[in-house]
Structure 1
Amino acid sequence: MRQYLDLCRHILTQGSLKTDRTNTGTKSVFGYQMRFDLEEGFPLLTTKKVFMKAIIHELLWFISGDTNIKYLVDKGVKIWNEWPYEAYKKHKDYQNESLEEFVDKIKSNPEFARVHGNLGPVYGAQWRNFNGVDQLQTVIDQIKNNPDSRRIILSAWNPADLDKMALPPCHAFLQFYVNNDELSLQLYQRSGDVFLGVPFNIASYSLLLMMVAQVTNLRPKTFVHTIGDAHIYSNHFDQIETQLSRTPRQLPKMIINSQVKSIFDFKYEDFKLEDYNPYPAIKGVVAV
């Protein structure tokens, strides 16, 4: 996927070294945009294997309005585990459990999960109940009834709730655009972890675009990804160089069950990824 590799090269050659909240250190640029035409294939990275199962389950979790990691843990998705674990380590209930032991308790003990698995009012809460507004339903209604509107917007950034969130939203602001029976989507992401997070974000919001297009009887067209602080963590430089040494392969296809007519009715089984032939996965540590 040329657009992603161009971003990686740009950061490595033009970026500035910066400190950060996690004390890991990054190389960073400010204000970068990529465009993906979904008619050319589904934009899932091929220079390393990306865990599409996690992307689908996380997106369904957002759409449902859920903010507790138990759903993800039960599905074998680990991408949110570190944040509630770090909060748990500061709680009086903490008994020196490892991350793995914490996750096992989330999976096996519903009361423990209720108390310690919640992330606060993160993405799903804001999408479905932003100060009483179901933004996702509103977006669907606007696309159907007023497609030329310049206000088809969904925001995960709610200043009143930021201090209650385990992590303030990184992918924070969405705008949909209808033209010639085609639907496009622009994401503004305030902060992008280019090795671990950005490949997920590209695929996730491209999939959301496809889902919304289907339930509004439009064709998915362009996903525009705008990133504020686009950064590579210092402990991911080698992994990025490995990807840059690999030649991108043909993009896969994402097939969605055409019978689903509501954004809230999608299930994991409604998605099928075809012709995905990536290079092997590359491991990297998440900065928390």
Structure 2
Amino acid sequence: MGRFPAKSDYEDMRNARISENQARLASLGLQKTISELRSITTPVKSPRRKCMKVDYSSLPLRRSSRLKKVNPSSSDGSISVDRSLRFSSDSDTEFPNGDISEKNEKRPANSPLVDWRLCRSTELSSERRCMSKGRGSVYDPVFGICCHFCRQKKLCGEEDCMRCNDLDVDQPCLGKTDCSVCHSSNGVLCRACLKVRYGEEMEEVRNNKQWKCPHCIEEEGSKPYWICNSSFCLKKRKMVPTGIAIYRAREMGYESVAHLLMDELLRADQR
């Protein structure tokens, strides 16, 4: 069996240095053990609280006055439910100018009824008039009418539009279309979207009292493959929205995006 080699001079020097360091630490009073240091640094854990189960079935439900619809000024605590003008049970609505208008009357889509309670903070100023005839340039959440395609709720830029210039809610917006059949928001298109997406001019549509939106034309079947190409309607058909397709349509010789889609659907059906 082999013997362990004798200690080298390096090990002797190392052991001497360790002894010297220990003596120095002892002289400085730093000979605390690891357990003592851990006892100082370890935080004391607070005792866990026992969970107390509360029987909520025996307690009354808490509701705010807004949800209760309770009038605090009323002596009998009567309930007053806030409803919009469209869902109010009253048959008439009084406007600030003193006129009484039937809420149930069929109004054109480009002349919707305005909730005057939302107009209290709106300044009725002629400076709000926009100068762009395309899609308008002034966003107005109260008086603006949303376009079905671009979904921009802006005031139109037509020079003779009394609704957008003078904020006369009894007048239709001349910069938005209205379907003669459905009178719904599906037939509301601004001048730019009407031209780019469907190839029609606003003046021609305005003079045509029998104008129909693409939805109604599709339902009656008078113009095959003529569909609404808004992103909403294309997604319902499980079709990919076209995006900015007017440049591709014009390069291919089509009048609008709707004409391009009509031709593509026709060719797909003939395959």
TM-score normalised by the shorter chain: which range applies? under 0.3
Structure 1 length normalisation: TM-score? 0.20
**Comparing both structures, which one devotes a greater share of its residues to helix?**
1
Structure 2 length normalisation: TM-score? 0.21
